[in-house]
Structure 1
C-alpha cells in the first residue's frame, strides 16, 4: 500500500507547452500499485530556466520534458546521457543530489516499436523537424531503415536531421506515398491543429503502416483514417507509455511487470493502447 504523502514523498513532474493528464495518471497508477512513496504532477511554464532551477532547488527527483523544451533545456542541465547526447534532445531529467542529467527515452520507445511492429525495414516519409523528429530519425537509422525522406518546411532543421542520419530532405510531401508514414508534427494534436490530417488520404491509402507520435489525443485524424483503411497502426499512446515506463525506471530504479504496466496504461490511455503493449 502506498504511504500517505509526507515530507519523505519524492516528487516527479513534467514540463510541456500543453500539459495533459496521461503521464500523471500513468506514473501515479504505478506508484499506487507498487506502494511507492512518490507523486507525479504536470506543469507548464513561461520561464524554463526558473523551472529547471526549481527542480534542482526543491530536490525534485525527475522531470519529463515535452515540446517545445527538448532542446532549449540542454544548456540548463549538468550532463547528457548517451541517448540524449547523440541527438541533442532531452525528454527526461534525473536529479541525483542536485546534479541534473538529461536522457532521451523517446528514442528507446520508438526503436522498440519499430522492431516489434514492422517485420523488415521499408522506405518511409517522416514529417517534422523538432526534437522528437531527431529521436525518431535516430531510431529509424539504428533499426536498419536505410531509405527515407524528412519532410519539413523549415529547411535548416529538416536538412540538419536528414544529413545527420543519412536521409533525404524536401520541403513538401511528394506525390507518391511510402510504405511507412510517420507524423512528428503537431498536426492532429489537441488545440488548433486537432482536425488536421498529417498526410493526405491518398498517401494513407497507399501505405502499409501509419505511425503518429501525437498522444493527445491518441485517436488523431491520421490514425482514424489509417484504421478505416485497415493499415497497420502505431500510435502516440504506445510511444508515450513505453517512454514513460523508461522514465519510471530511471526515477525509481524499479521495472514493473507487464501486468502492472498494462493496468497503468489502461488507466491512463484506455484498453486499446494497454492491450498493444508487448512484453
Structure 2
C-alpha cells in the first residue's frame, strides 16, 4: 500500500470466486519498491455486469479476472486483445479513460513456460479441464505446435467444444491411457477447496508420465506436484504461471517492466501470504 495514499492513488483490483492473496501482495510489493502511487485489492462479486461497470465508472485502472468470471467478461468490454479473442476468455481488464480492453495473460504465461522448460511440441498430453483457464492452456499448446492432445472433461459439451476448437480429442476420463505429459487445469488440489487432498490424475498415469504441469498455484506443492516430484518427474507449477501472468498484468497497468530481481523478490514476498 502507498505509504501516503492520496486522491491520485491509482486503484487496481481482482475479481475471483475465491479471492487469494498472491496478486495483492505481488502487485503492492512492486508498487512500493518502485515508488508507484498504486494500490491493489482483491474482491469478489455476485453481480459481474455491475462490477465491470464500476471499474469503468470509478476509474479503476486494472482488474485481474479469475474463475468463474473469465468468459462472462467478454461481452462487457469495449475492446478485446488477440490474446483473449483467440480463446474467448479474459483474465485482465485495462481501463483507459473509461475504455475497457480485455487481455489474457494466462495464455502469454503458458506460451513462455513451454519455451522456458523446452517442452518438445511432439509430446502427447492429456489436459484435465474445460473452463476459461483450460482454454488458455489448450490454445497455448495448439499455437506452440502441440498436435496430439486429449481434453479430459466430465462436462461433455464444454470438453468437446474445447477439443474441437483446438484440434484435439475429448474423453470423459483417461482410463488406462498414459500420455507423457499430464496437465491439470481444474481446482483439484487447490487449498481450501473440496478436492484439496486429491490427485487430478491416477497414480498409474502419473507414474507413466514424463512431465506434470499443474496450474493450481496455492499450494505450490499440490498433491499432484508432490507425487510427481517423488517419482522424479519433470514439473511445471502453478506458481510459475501465476507469477508470469501477474508480471504481464503489472506491465499493462503501469507501463513499467520490473527487473528479474525485483520480480523474484515480489514472488517471494507474495508466497509468504
TM-score by length of 1: 0.94
Match of 1:273 in 2: none
User: Which of 229, 240, 256 in structure 1 is aligned with 2:258?
Assistant: 256
Match of 1:277 in 2: none
Match of 1:274 in 2: none
Asked whether the equivalents of residues 159 and 169 of structure 1 are also in contact (C-alpha less than 8 Å), the reply is yes
After superposing on structure 2, the runs of 4+ consecutive aligned residues of structure 1 that deviate more than 3 Å are none
Asked whether the equivalents of residues 3 and 36 of structure 1 are also in contact (C-alpha less than 8 Å), the reply is no
TM-score by length of 2: 0.96
Match of 2:199 in 1: 197
Match of 2:138 in 1: 137
Match of 1:105 in 2: 105
Asked whether the equivalents of residues 249 and 255 of structure 1 are also in contact (C-alpha less than 8 Å), the reply is yes
Match of 2:129 in 1: 128
Cα distance in 2, alignment partners of residues 217 and 18 from structure 1: 14
Deviates most, 112-121 or 135-144: 112-121
Q: 1:269 offset after TM fit, Å?
A: 2.3
Q: 1:176 offset after TM fit, Å?
A: 2.2
* Secondary structure at 1:189 match in 2: coil
C-alpha RMSD over aligned residues? 1.3
Asked whether the equivalents of residues 74 and 89 of structure 1 are also in contact (C-alpha less than 8 Å), the reply is yes
Q: Could you tell me which runs of 5 or more consecutive residues in structure 1 were left unpaired when the two chains were aligned.
A: 271-279
Q: Is 1:14 paired with 2:14? A: yes
* Secondary structure at 1:12 match in 2: strand
* Secondary structure at 1:73 match in 2: helix
User: Which of 205, 219, 237 in structure 2 is aligned with 1:217?
Assistant: 219
1:40-189 alignment to 2 at 5 Å?
40-121=40-121, 122-189=123-190
Asked whether the equivalents of residues 3 and 35 of structure 1 are also in contact (C-alpha less than 8 Å), the reply is no
Cα distance in 2, alignment partners of residues 240 and 93 from structure 1: 16
Asked whether the equivalents of residues 59 and 95 of structure 1 are also in contact (C-alpha less than 8 Å), the reply is yes
Q: 1:3 offset after TM fit, Å?
A: 5.6
Aligned residues: 270
